[in-house]
Amino acid sequence: MNISVLIWDKNVSKEARESIENQEEVKATIYDALEYKDKNHAAYVAANNSPYLMISNGATIFKPDCLRKHAKVLQECPHVTIVYSDYRVCDREVEWYQYNMTFDSRTPAIPPYCMIRSDVFLGMRGFDMNSYPLENTELYLRLLQTRSAQHICEPLMKVFPIEEFTKEQIEQAQAYIRKKHYGPN
């Protein structure tokens, strides 16, 4: 099984790269979005090279069966577009929604690391780079409006948060996403 993994950070740890390269029953190709002049171009290249696209940061360590389990759900459930799992942050287990961006009571919790069908990603015209650095969050909101998600109730990743954006950058992206999805109020 061939899966593209889109890494969206400046620094990819050795452990993260090795955890992707050593997946069980999966050939994972890593696409470092920052190697491309246009980040969205990197995402399109990755999506065109395999049926499934995993979006992650450069500090996420995958369990050996993580990508296989995510892809299996997409293979067995054609109506499912997004698959996400629980994960551990710095060795302590957390519920997947506690570390997600929420915008208001109308907004579902957003999975920060997930696998999506590449054809759906391409059909949605990829990321909206006006929402950078929350372009993945904005994409998930668009996907969840018309598509279904599946949760794997098992921690399959170990996440080391990366603090590379300023509070102002995050707030600007949140404001853009709120206006785009919920109007000016």
- Range among 51-55, 137-141, 154-158, 174-178 with highest mean pLDDT value: 51-55
Q: What is the mean pLDDT of residues 28-51?
A: 77
* pLDDT for 18: 92
What pLDDT, in 10s, does the model give residues 3-30?
888 877 667 788 888 999 999 999 888 8
Q: What is the mean pLDDT of residues 85-101?
A: 51
In order of 16, 17, 55, 90, 116, the CA distances from 21 in angstroms are 9, 6, 15, 21, 19
Q: Is the pTM of this model over 0.85?
A: no
What pLDDT, in 10s, does the model give residues 97-152?
333 334 444 445 555 678 999 988 888 888 888 887 777 778 888 887 767 888 88
d(CA 121, CA 81): 9
- Is it the case that residue 94 has pLDDT exceeding 80? no
According to DSSP, the β-strands at 52-56 and 80-89 are: unpaired
Per the structure, the complete domain to which residue 122 belongs is given by 2-182
Read off the CATH number of the domain in which 101 is found. Answer: 3.90.550.10
* pLDDT for 34: 65
Give the count of domains, the chain: 1
* pLDDT for 64: 94
Name the phi and psi angles at 102, rounded to 5.
-120, 150
What pLDDT, in 10s, does the model give residues 45-87?
887 889 999 988 777 889 999 999 999 999 999 999 888 887 7
Reduced to 3 states, what is the DSSP secondary structure of residue 183? coil
